[in-house]
Structure 1
Amino acid sequence: MRTCVLSREEAPRDGLIRLALSPDGEVLPDVRAKAPGRGAWIGVTRAELEASGKKLKGVLARAFKGAELRIPEDLGARIEEQLQRNALDRLGLEFKAGNIAIGGDRIQEAGRSGRLHLLLHASDASEDGARKLAQAWRVGLDEEGSGRKGLTLPIPRTILSLALGRENVVHAGLTDAKAAARTREALDRWLHFIGPDSTSRPCETASQGASALPSEASDDERQTEGL
């Protein structure tokens, strides 16, 4: 368990975001919690973080025991970028491990046979397609009428396709329970941080397209990993 320095609420560390100091005192996101040295944990949304103002510097100064620190103005954006990369990297790894089905027919088959554990849709997926897959999932779980449906991600099919290394991926289904739990954990941290309106503002910039590729690391990640 860890305590959020802003809200003072306790939560499992896997549900929080770690901040670390670079050698020159810059506060950087360390979403995989691998950087050495003292860290500070936050569990608030991006909007709450950016509204914290001077309070953030004060609590971080205490967390880092009075060390000289510099908080970048775009800290929220950097955290969001790393969380998105972490989630999409997880999807890429699970796909390579054979734990993700893509294509409507394969997902429907997995759903109806009870092998579907998590259903994901790109932000630009059609409602009709998403509805059919969700129906197959409910049938396989014997939960017709339950309202269970897939999770719509705040990224379009182009970014989801890059993450999985395939073309035109609109839907994805996790067919292994442990893989679904790992994926959901990474997705939940990302989606919690960007807030409830995230699915209404999907982004597709050049930098985000690059960040979806599991083989490349962002500048922030390289700096954090070198701490």
Structure 2
Amino acid sequence: MPSTEAPADDLPPDILDAGIGRGRAQAERTCLVTRESRNPSGLIRFALGPDGTVVPDLKARLPGRGAWVTATRAAVAEAVRRRLFQRAFKAKHAVAGPDLADVIETALRHDLRQALALANKAGCVVTGFTKVESAVESRAGVAALVHASDASQDGRRKLAQTLRRRYGDAISGIPVVDDMSSEELDMALGRDHVIHAALVAGAGTAGLLARWRRLRAFRGVAAMPGEVGPAPSGADAALPDNSPGGCDGVCDRPPEGR
């Protein structure tokens, strides 16, 4: 079967740009791998460091001209394999390590923990099984559930049942975040033995969910609302939600009614 890859030497002459806020307003960016133009929210910018290392610029703020790649592990791995960064930066000795995708995922996980810490400081996080259950059953309801990735299935099941009693068919509008271990939750929230938590409507919730969806999209896992169970192993608060079934930035408001 003939290859569908575009010739690497045919990179557009303007493939690099100066980053968000330093170029054309609202401009789309072109992915090195697919050559498709799209909103920067669905891409990751890369800059070239002083030592010739290709550096992921998740906030698109690093100086100099940068290259953009679709924000998935597969696309980043393909860019490394085809040496597209070297061609884009016109630097044969630019270093894009084989672990570049792992470096990005680690950074996205760090961003997610930071977002949870900020949401907690804003009073948007409830912890403890009993308190989470009460929050779900309250009139205000919750914007999302958070389970430690190592939480027991029994606890997940009981809270899922509580969600279904509270929301009925509208349960599909409640995201379930389960991509952080109990150790990571402890670190983010500054307390011990956090297994279950709930997000309530507030200033920090939309930003956390945007970062969560960005991490899941990078992994190639659709962040579907209402998802219950362990996550498959395998951004700024203004980041829009481009994931399938997403909430377009309004998931900090729980569905109305029972």
What TM-score do you get using the length of structure 2 for normalisation? Answer: 0.66
Structure 2 counterpart of 1:174: 199
Cα distance in structure 1, aligned partners of 2:164 and 2:39: 30
| TM-superposition CA deviations, 1:134-181 (whole Å, max 9, x none) | 3333444x3347556652533321122112111111122111255322
1:29–1:82 contact (8 Å) kept in structure 2: no
List aligned pairs for 1:104-123, cutoff 5 A.
104-113=129-138, 114-123=140-149
1:15–1:43 contact (8 Å) kept in structure 2: yes
Cα distance in structure 2, aligned partners of 1:111 and 1:2: 41
Root-mean-square deviation (CA), in Å?
2.7
1:126 partner letter:
S
Cα distance in structure 2, aligned partners of 1:80 and 1:164: 21
Structure 2 counterpart of 1:14: 41
3-state SS of paired residue (1:33): coil
3-state SS of paired residue (1:38): coil
Q: Percent identity, please.
A: 36
1:119–1:173 contact (8 Å) kept in structure 2: yes
Cα distance in structure 2, aligned partners of 1:172 and 1:11: 35
Cα distance in structure 2, aligned partners of 1:10 and 1:172: 38
Cα distance in structure 2, aligned partners of 1:189 and 1:84: 10
* Aligned equivalent of 2:211, options 179, 186, 205: 186
1:49 and 2:81 equivalent? no
List aligned pairs for 1:94-113, cutoff 5 A.
94-113=119-138
List aligned pairs for 1:138-157, cutoff 5 A.
138-140=164-166, 142-144=167-169, 146=171, 150-157=175-182
1:111–1:137 contact (8 Å) kept in structure 2: yes
Question: RCO (CA 8 Å, sep 6+): is it higher in 1 or 2?
Answer: 1
Structure 2 counterpart of 1:39: 66
3-state SS of paired residue (1:19): strand
2:231 partner letter:
T
Unaligned runs of 5+ in 2: 1-27, 223-229, 235-258
1:3 partner letter:
T
1:87–1:186 contact (8 Å) kept in structure 2: yes
1:16–1:189 contact (8 Å) kept in structure 2: no
List aligned pairs for 1:153-168, cutoff 5 A.
153-168=178-193
Cα distance in structure 1, aligned partners of 2:81 and 2:170: 49
Structure 1 runs of 4+ off > 6 angstroms?
A: none
2:158 partner letter:
K
What TM-score do you get using the length of structure 1 for normalisation? Answer: 0.74
Alignment size in residue pairs: 198
2:118–2:204 contact (8 Å) kept in structure 1: no
2:143–2:174 contact (8 Å) kept in structure 1: no
* Aligned equivalent of 2:156, options 130, 144, 153: 130
Cα distance in structure 2, aligned partners of 1:148 and 1:133: 15
Describe the shift of the 1:74–1:54 C-alpha distance in structure 2 as closer, same or farther (beyond 3 A). closer
Structure 2 counterpart of 1:199: 231
Cα distance in structure 2, aligned partners of 1:183 and 1:44: 18
Cα distance in structure 2, aligned partners of 1:179 and 1:128: 29
Describe the shift of the 1:6–1:38 C-alpha distance in structure 2 as closer, same or farther (beyond 3 A). same
